Amino acid sequence: MSLAMMVFIAVPVIAPSFGQAVMLLTHWRGIFVVLMLYGVIALAWNALRMPETLPKELRKSLAIPEVLSAFRQTLTNRQTLGYALAAGGVTGSLFAFVFSSQQVFTEIFKLGHYFPVAFAACAIGVAIAGFLNSRIVGRIGMRVISHAAISGFAVVAGALLLAVKLDMLSLPLFMTLSLLMMFAFGLMMANFTALAMEPQGKIAGTASSLYGTITTLLGIGIGTTIGQDYDGTLLPFATGFFLCTLASLAVVLVTEKGRMFRPHHHPI
């Protein structure tokens, strides 16, 4: 899960670099040609090389009553819903970063054509976090790692807001804080996903789909809202980032009934 999430999270961060490369080789319509080719290749790969691994006797029916029952089981489980909402909040922070990044790097920090390079550099934190998590999660546990990560995420988001308020935010400081936030984000998301899916073994496919829907919709809604508030400064971004983090931290506290950093096997 850690290594898969490492790739999944890094993609939207490094995507602008690939887009810039396509734009250098062709015009803007080339973006859609590349997307079409990628879609065809992905479809063919899935059809030919990724058969269903679940035995037939364990597969669930796609009848509407059974699907609705699985939805109800997912949405009424405290651990699953809580971590889905918390993940949605921090995903909103990531999307806000993605949506605001071009204005931040090109208009505020005047990087111009170097924007994709600076943007992609932030993915280093996610890659390191994913690899590190895959090595330590078995010994330390998902809760301890993810709770430490979201706590650190809140501290860094608070530092970003404070630096903006005091007009002390330079490009090196912004890059450093962004790398730290991406590192914390990488530690959070794989473990939040695993914690949300932990009680849903028998309906893991349906629960995972609903989890992805919740986190994506929340992320897009929050990220778009913060991105639209851009006013030529970093204040709307930093404020929204900090508030999203506090909201996610509060959801985790409620989900864990006020007791964070418990052993991963401890029931809620």
> In the chain, what are the domain boundaries?
2-52+64-255
Max avg pLDDT among 35-49, 106-120, 198-212 = 35-49
> pTM of the full predicted structure?
0.83
> Is residue 93 a contact partner of residue 189, using CB atoms and an 8 Å limit?
no
Contact 191, 133 (CB under 8 A): yes
pLDDT tens digits, one per residue of 156-214: 999 999 999 999 999 999 999 999 999 999 899 889 999 999 998 888 888 999 999 99
* pLDDT > 90 in the chain, percent: 50
Q: From the centroid of its chain, how far is CA 96? A: 11
| Gap between the Cα atoms of 166 and 131, Å rounded | 35
Torsion of CA 17, 4, 212, 13, to 10 degrees: -20
Measure the CA–CA gap between 83 and 208, rounded to whole angstroms: 12
Domain 2-52+64-255 has CATH 1.20.1250.20: yes
257: left (phi over 0), alpha (psi -120 to 50) or beta: left
